[in-house]
A and B are shown apart, each in its own frame.
Chain A
Amino acid sequence: MLAYAAKRLALAILVALFVSAVAFALLRLSGDPALAIAGEGARQADIELVRKTYGLDRPLIVQYLDWLCTIARGDLGQSLYFRTDVSGLVADKLPVTFWIGGLSILFALALSIPLGVLAAVFAGTSIDRAALAIAVVGQALPTFFFALVLMMLFSINLRWLPVSGSDTWAHFVMPTIALGYYVTPPMMRLVRAGMIEVLGSDYIRTARAKGLSGTSVVFKHGLRNAVVPVVALAAVQLGYLLGGSIVIETIFALDGLGYLAYQSITHKDFPVTQAVLLLLSLIYVLLTLAADLLNAFLDPRIRVS
């Protein structure tokens, strides 16, 4: 287990470094940083001076390593548009995105586990096909369109929920549904496939032969074993969600990382874009690392191969 964990950790660190290089390149490709600092219409001599003071005349690799040390200390630079510290800005918006991501995953689990179990128990019947239809339609619906439909229905027609903002819990209801529904289909398919496999196994037959009731067999013996890979998938999906929340947060004007990323991109505020990219990627790397280690811990076959 330790050897596997060490290998997996090494991969995670390498990936994090690679992503940081991409984020660094992104900022550099977006334009001359010396020009950005000196401002529009600066004289050539001033730009040269800025270049010297900020060490922008050194080789790129040195600048990259230097930058890496800076961000390791928690200094993500200055926002060009918001005119504040990027670290503070990002730390401010992170909770909203965590909430929306966590709630969406819970929503998706609450929807996909019962549907997947139903589909597996009644595999091949119309119940199974109905559950599958929900999954297929869910995968085809554009998230932003679904979000607008929800908005129209719950905010405009029924007047139950606020249209946009992030002040109260009611503001989180529609984004949670829109984002959570999007990741439900793959999780539901996994629950279904896992349950069908588990329900066909010998120990389930033993449990049934002992005379245990149907619900006890399905939930106590079956679901417990089928749900393990789903938890791992949920961790990975949470990473996807944080990326997908850009669209949803922008539509509902939820004041989180995704909306911040969108604003930073449209205002060409690349230090902020870079920071969000770095942060979202790092969260994904950590989540997949945790999921893999959990899986390896629960299933010894993974560690050995």
Chain B
Amino acid sequence: MDGTIITPVVAPTPAEGALPAPGVLRRVLGHPGLVAGMVLLGLCVAMALLAPLLAPYDPYAQDLNQRLIPPVWFEKGSWAHPLGTDNLGRDYLARTLYGARISLLIGLSAMLISGLIGTTLGLVAGYLGGRVDLFVNFIITARLAMPVVLVALAVVAMIGGSLLVVILTLGLLKWDRFAVVMRSATMQVRALDYVAAAEAAGASRLRVLAGEILPNVFPHLIVVATVEAGSAILLEAALSFLGLGVQPPLPSWGLMIAEAKSFMFFSFWLIAIPGTALAALVLGINMVGDGLRDVFAPEGRA
């Protein structure tokens, strides 16, 4: 079947990373998964930013006469509390909206910290090679050997749970994928001619790293960063769910599920609402990551 198509032996390949801007925009818009992901993520960001305007009540205000009211689509629900109230009579819509802030804040800041550590390690190891590379490889392997959930739980239990502690713990633990991907991407780029040209022109190592290598491994960095932000959000939710993440009364989605767990057999919506919000946010982030991977590397590296 394919016999009729004649492929030239040496096909002219466009330079990697040198994409004309209009092409990128067209490819972004032509990728339905990426657009859907951006819409989903955009909705969550809007929820977080506009929470004070959208929320009908204070997310911390308790009303013990209005406990466990079901959402509006149930028989006993009312528009006064569109998503119902929790066991302390706090408005669930307000808490869900403010919960987006916590998830996004944690995802973004943990990703920035781990990205900084992992990218530095990966770039340096990939560019310098030799003993430095051996050392970084050892650090990565050692870090991977320790189960993140266990170490994070132990650290939070020792220091005490707060937003800052959770962000720092996740940020300082989850740099491994950044380091792995940046290291191999840098190794590929290091062998290319323009790096040799910069070195021959007398550019310092730092300048080669920042000026030649970083811009060319940047697409990989963006893809890892999105995936890691999503994974940090899930991890925070899991820690908070186990009671060793952010502490009450903060409206973290993981914490909301933990607080609702004892009521879930009668009021399943109490865990379904924050759970769906969590899944939707991470789904949006992952779809953006997947889409960006396709846009940056259309030949596909699954």
Tell me if chain B binds chain A: yes
Render B282-293 as a binary contact track against A, CB cut-off 8 A, 1 for contact. Answer: 110111001000
Contact A280 B147 (CB under 8 A): yes
Contact B286 A139 (CB under 8 A): yes
A136 close to chain B: CB less than 8 A: yes
Give chain A residues whose Cβ lies under 8 Å from the Cβ of B149.
243-244, 246-247
- Given A140-B230, A262-B153, CB of A192 within 8 Å of CB of B302: yes
Give chain A residues whose Cβ lies under 8 Å from the Cβ of B142.
14-15, 18-19
- Give the Cβ gap from B35 to chain A, nearest Cβ, in Å: 14
Render B255-292 as a binary contact track against A, CB cut-off 8 A, 1 for contact. Answer: 00100010011001001100100111011011100100
- Give the Cβ gap from A229 to chain B, nearest Cβ, in Å: 12
- Given A15-B145, A250-B242, A281-B147, CB of A140 within 8 Å of CB of B257: no
B296 close to chain A: CB less than 8 A: no
Contact of B238 among A30, A142, A261 (CB under 8 A): A142
Render A2-45 as a binary contact track against B, CB cut-off 8 A, 1 for contact. Answer: 00000000010011101100100010011000000000000000
Contact B138 A11 (CB under 8 A): yes
Interface residues on B, range: 35 or more
Contact B290 A247 (CB under 8 A): no
B196 close to chain A: CB less than 8 A: no
Majority-rule SS of B interface residues = helix
Residues of A265-302 at the interface with B, using a CB-CB cut-off of 8 Å, are 265-266, 268, 270, 273, 276-277, 280-281, 284-285, 288
- Given A136-B286, A145-B275, A152-B264, CB of A30 within 8 Å of CB of B147: no
Render B239-255 as a binary contact track against A, CB cut-off 8 A, 1 for contact. Answer: 00111100000000010
Nearest CB in chain A to that of B261: its residue: A148
A184 close to chain B: CB less than 8 A: no
Residues of B143-164 at the interface with A, using a CB-CB cut-off of 8 Å, are 144-151, 153-154, 157-158
Contact B150 A276 (CB under 8 A): yes
Give chain B residues whose Cβ lies under 8 Å from the Cβ of A268.
157
Give chain A residues whose Cβ lies under 8 Å from the Cβ of B158.
29-30
- Give the Cβ gap from A243 to chain B, nearest Cβ, in Å: 3
Render A145-168 as a binary contact track against B, CB cut-off 8 A, 1 for contact. Answer: 100110010001000000000000
Q: List 20 A-B contacts (CB under 8 A).
A: A14-B138, A15-B145, A139-B286, A140-B283, A142-B241, A143-B238, A144-B254, A149-B272, A156-B265, A192-B302, A239-B145, A240-B147, A246-B150, A246-B153, A247-B241, A250-B242, A265-B154, A277-B154, A280-B150, A288-B145
- List chain B positions with a Cβ less than 8 A from chain A: 33, 137-138, 141-142, 144-151, 153-154, 157-158, 230, 234, 237-238, 241-244, 254, 257, 261, 264-265, 268, 271-272, 275, 278-280, 282-283, 285-287, 290, 301-302
Closest 3 CB pairs of A and B: A243-B147, A140-B283, A145-B275
- List chain A positions with a Cβ less than 8 A from chain B: 11, 14-16, 18-19, 22, 26, 29-30, 136-137, 139-145, 148-149, 152, 156, 189-190, 192-193, 196, 239-240, 242-244, 246-247, 250, 261-262, 265-266, 268, 270, 273, 276-277, 280-281, 284-285, 288
New contact pairs (11) apart from A144-B238, A262-B153, A266-B243, CB-CB < 8 Å: A136-B286, A137-B283, A140-B283, A142-B237, A145-B278, A148-B275, A239-B145, A243-B150, A280-B146, A281-B147, A288-B145
